[in-house]
Amino acid sequence: MKILTLVRHAKSSWSDSALSDRKRPLNKRGEHDAPVMGRRIAEHGIRPSLIVTSPANRAWTTAKIIAQEISYPLEFLQRDDSLYLASLDEFLDVLVAQDNEFNSIMLVGHNPGMTDFANFLSPGLTQNLPTAGVVSVEIDQDHWNLYEQPKTRLLVHDYPKKTA
Digit-coded pLDDT (tens) for 27-39: 999 999 999 999 9
Determine the length of the chain: 164
Report, as an integer, the average pLDDT of 9-26: 92
Among candidate residues 101, 100, 95, the one with its CA nearest the CA of residue 121: 95
- pLDDT of 160 reads 95
**What is the set of domains in the chain, with CATH numbers?**
2-12+21-104+111-137 (3.40.50.1240)
- pLDDT of 9 reads 98
**What pTM was estimated for this model as a whole?**
0.96
Residues 151 and 32: their CA atoms lie apart, in Å, by 34
- pLDDT of 138 reads 98
Residue 129 pLDDT exceeds 70? yes
Query: For residues 68 and 41, is the Cβ–Cβ distance under 8 A?
Result: no
Q: What is the DSSP string of 76-142?
A: G-EE-GGGTT--HHHHHHHHHTS-TT-SEEEEEE-TTHHHHHHHHHSTT--S---TT-EEEEEESSS
- pLDDT of 14 reads 87
Model confidence band, residue 16 (pLDDT cutoffs 50, 70, 90): confident
Residue 71 pLDDT exceeds 90? yes
